[in-house]
Structure 1
Amino acid sequence: MVDLFGKKKLEDRISELEEAIAVQEREKEELVRTLQKREEKIKRLTSANQEANLALKAMEQKTATMVASSPEKTETERPKARLPEAWMPDNRELDLLIQRLQGFRSPREDLLVYAFPGSLPKDADIPPQIRRVAMEIKSQRGGIIIYCPQLFALQFIPPFPIKERISWEGSSFQLSWIEEMMNTPALVVSAHAGSTFLGVALSREGFAVNEKVESQVKEKHSKGGWSQKRFERLREEDIKNHLDAVQEKLAGLQSKYGSIVKYAVLGGEEGLIRQIAPSISLPLVERRLKRHDEKYPDSLLREVYGFKCYRIDINVIEAERSNAI
């Protein structure tokens, strides 16, 4: 049958329009829901903003009250410098760090190396911002400061004491002190009740000779009464016998290698250290040495020859300098 009046086309068009209207209705409903959510969010944010403003105002009033009641600070007062984080690189990391430092060149000849014994002196000839931070780093062995203006500042705590104050500035870093300490011969004593390690290291590469003194020493216990006193007396006798054996071996090592080694590095249990120290005729360096583990022989060498490193934040220094200007 022929559609003379185009009824079919009209019906199809009506269906298309109805479908379009349905889509628009759904979009309208979605927009209404979105607007409602936005209005709710605006209300929550407005409320939160009001609460924050009230809290901020209360804090400002409290701060103003505290400032008014606190004594005035003098112009010379400054906040205490924050101690930078420390790390102890292993041999490979230290070698790589030194290699990179040796590669630095400055046409201005302003690369600074400053070594000092004990604590950093207040009159140290280094930038004041670095001096203020470095003075917070305490070590009886002194320190070595390496400074490249506008790039970095490092402070090394050496394994052996710095003997004199030395300052060097030039187109490259003078790092011979660090390399020299890596090859410093040392007598090492790691004293622990019942097991004491004695060794002679000609450098950080290993022990030329080592001995381990082992003996039976009773463990501590917490029981009281006469049994406790008797036990402690027996334990003291065990420790004395152990110390006698240690000092006998120590005397032999000092006699044979005393003219070679530069320092005696002593660590371990404090009570044993105090009794062993008087029998050592070499310059003494006390360190925290763990009980020697034969499975990890290099760990003791790392404790003896390790450099503790601090990185001083140049960004903070430059910011302080800008504020001062």
Structure 2
Amino acid sequence: MVEKDRVINNINYIFKKYSGKEELEAEINKLQSHILELELDVNTANKRYEKSAASEKRAVAAKQGAEEKLKAAEVKLRSLEHELEKQRTDAPGEFSFTHVDQFSKQRTEEFISSISSVNYSTESLLTVYVAAGEQLNNIKDHENLIERIDNESLVLIEKISSSTGLVLFYSPDHLVNELIVPPLPLKRSYWTKGNTFDTDSLLESIKENVSMSVLVAHAGESFVGYSFDSEEFDSFQVIKSSVKAKHAKGGFSQRRFERLRDEDIAHHIDKVKLSLKELLEEFEENIDYLFLAGDLQLAKEMTSDVPLDIEQVFSSSDIRIEKHYVQDILNQLLVYRRYRL
């Protein structure tokens, strides 16, 4: 419990330092002092009004002015207090990455070459590989690992959604705090410390040419394709169907319209299933991965009959189908996401 309190206090300290919370609290304190001064002005104006009938107009004006300023200050105070309370409640979620990029395979190799050149005199550089479907706490000796990473970085790592795993390059002095999400699933979780970063496993993954089938699912227009070496498509097909747009009105007409739209989508799913089945049967001996993109819920329905031994990879890339730029689909699927913590 003591350790947990220490971690929470550290997170609160970090947030307070970087979120502007200190400035907000100082502004609230200043505003509260100002309200006290305004309340004194109001009291003074009331006394003048009561004592001097001759200067009634001036006294009334002073009283009204002081009350208006007091009311405005109280509104501002409530607004600031609400903002501060919201920051206190949402503190861990407010941490954000200093930089986010999408790298091609070539750009990633160049980036890793730069990371590899970092050399420390002490063995303080951490390299962490988290396999697909796992988290930091799945790694062997993860307690010792987590003690070496600052709390803000731990919060940011938790925010990353990846179906393929991640690689963290971390130096305690924050000279290097980089995280890579690869497009292909990492197979093993482990961590190391040394005077250089362990980039070998990531480089091996980058240089690996895999065979992949692809499904980009959208209602009314979907794409299925196959690449033997993940360099270009050897076979592909764009499947189109007539699917009604969503209805904007309510009532019985909307229910009937949505039922017809659902029937159109079901018909489109059947067409894609047939095309995907034919593609998988043609290349079944040479498929390492089935990549799913677009509307993932729709993609799951379209692949409900796919054999379980074909490993599926879910891509978060927002891929649009352009028949004249089919190569772009592969390029978008095979990007490496880079986060600077």
Shorter-chain TM-score: which interval? 0.5 to 0.7
Retained in 1: the 8 A contact 2:233–2:327?
A: no
Per-residue CA deviation, residues 222-259 of structure 1 (Å, 9 max, x unaligned), is 34555444433333332222211211111122223334
Count of residue pairs the alignment pairs up: 247
Name the structure 1 match of 2:154. 132
Retained in 2: the 8 A contact 1:264–1:280?
A: no
What letter corresponds to residue 187 of structure 2 in structure 1? K
Name the structure 2 match of 1:24. none
Q: Find the structure with the greater CA-based Rg.
A: 1
Structure 1 spans left out of the alignment, 5+ residues: 1-51, 71-78, 313-325
Name the structure 2 match of 1:123. 143
SS in 2 for 1:88: strand
- Determine the C-alpha separation between the residues in 2 that align with 1:272 and 1:133: 32
Q: TM-score, normalised by structure 1?
A: 0.63
Retained in 2: the 8 A contact 1:83–1:137?
A: no
Show the 5 A alignment for 1:45-56. Answer: 55=30
Distance 1:164 1:271, change over 3 A: closer
What letter corresponds to residue 95 of structure 2 in structure 1? R
SS in 2 for 1:128: coil
Per-residue CA deviation, residues 273-313 of structure 1 (Å, 9 max, x unaligned), is 2412322332222223422123443442233222221112x
- Determine the C-alpha separation between the residues in 2 that align with 1:197 and 1:298: 12
**Equivalent position to 1:82, from 84, 87, 95:** 95
What letter corresponds to residue 146 of structure 1 in structure 2? F
Name the structure 2 match of 1:293. 322
- Determine the C-alpha separation between the residues in 2 that align with 1:166 and 1:246: 39
Name the structure 2 match of 1:304. 333
Distance 1:102 1:135, change over 3 A: closer
Q: TM-score, normalised by structure 2?
A: 0.60
Identity of counterpart residues, as a percentage? 27
Retained in 1: the 8 A contact 2:126–2:169?
A: yes
- Determine the C-alpha separation between the residues in 1 that align with 2:283 and 2:123: 42
Counterpart check, 1:143 vs 2:166:
yes
SS in 2 for 1:94: helix
What letter corresponds to residue 169 of structure 2 in structure 1? I
What letter corresponds to residue 33 of structure 2 in structure 1? A
More helix by share: 2
Name the structure 2 match of 1:212. 238
Retained in 1: the 8 A contact 2:105–2:336?
A: no
- Determine the C-alpha separation between the residues in 2 that align with 1:278 and 1:268: 16
SS in 1 for 2:158: coil
Show the 5 A alignment for 1:173-212. Answer: 173-182=197-206, 183-212=209-238
**Equivalent position to 1:94, from 108, 113, 121:** 108
Distance 1:195 1:149, change over 3 A: same
Distance 1:124 1:108, change over 3 A: closer
Name the structure 1 match of 2:311. 283
Residue 149 (structure 1) shift: 5.2
SS in 2 for 1:123: helix
Counterpart check, 1:262 vs 2:288:
yes
Indicate the larger mover: 99-108 or 235-244: 99-108
Per-residue CA deviation, residues 94-153 of structure 1 (Å, 9 max, x unaligned), is 232122223344564554321013332262625231763454333243321113454312
- Determine the C-alpha separation between the residues in 2 that align with 1:215 and 1:163: 38
- Determine the C-alpha separation between the residues in 2 that align with 1:224 and 1:235: 15
Retained in 2: the 8 A contact 1:101–1:173?
A: yes
SS in 1 for 2:338: strand
Distance 1:160 1:273, change over 3 A: same
Retained in 1: the 8 A contact 2:296–2:314?
A: no
Structure 2 spans left out of the alignment, 5+ residues: 1-26, 37-76, 86-90
Name the structure 2 match of 1:58. 33
Distance 1:101 1:201, change over 3 A: farther
- Determine the C-alpha separation between the residues in 2 that align with 1:261 and 1:180: 19
Per-residue CA deviation, residues 16-70 of structure 1 (Å, 9 max, x unaligned), is xxxxxxxxxxxxxxxxxxxxxxxxxxxxxxxxxxxx9x948938x99xxx9xxx9
Retained in 2: the 8 A contact 1:201–1:208?
A: yes
Distance 1:173 1:249, change over 3 A: same
- Determine the C-alpha separation between the residues in 1 that align with 2:228 and 2:116: 24
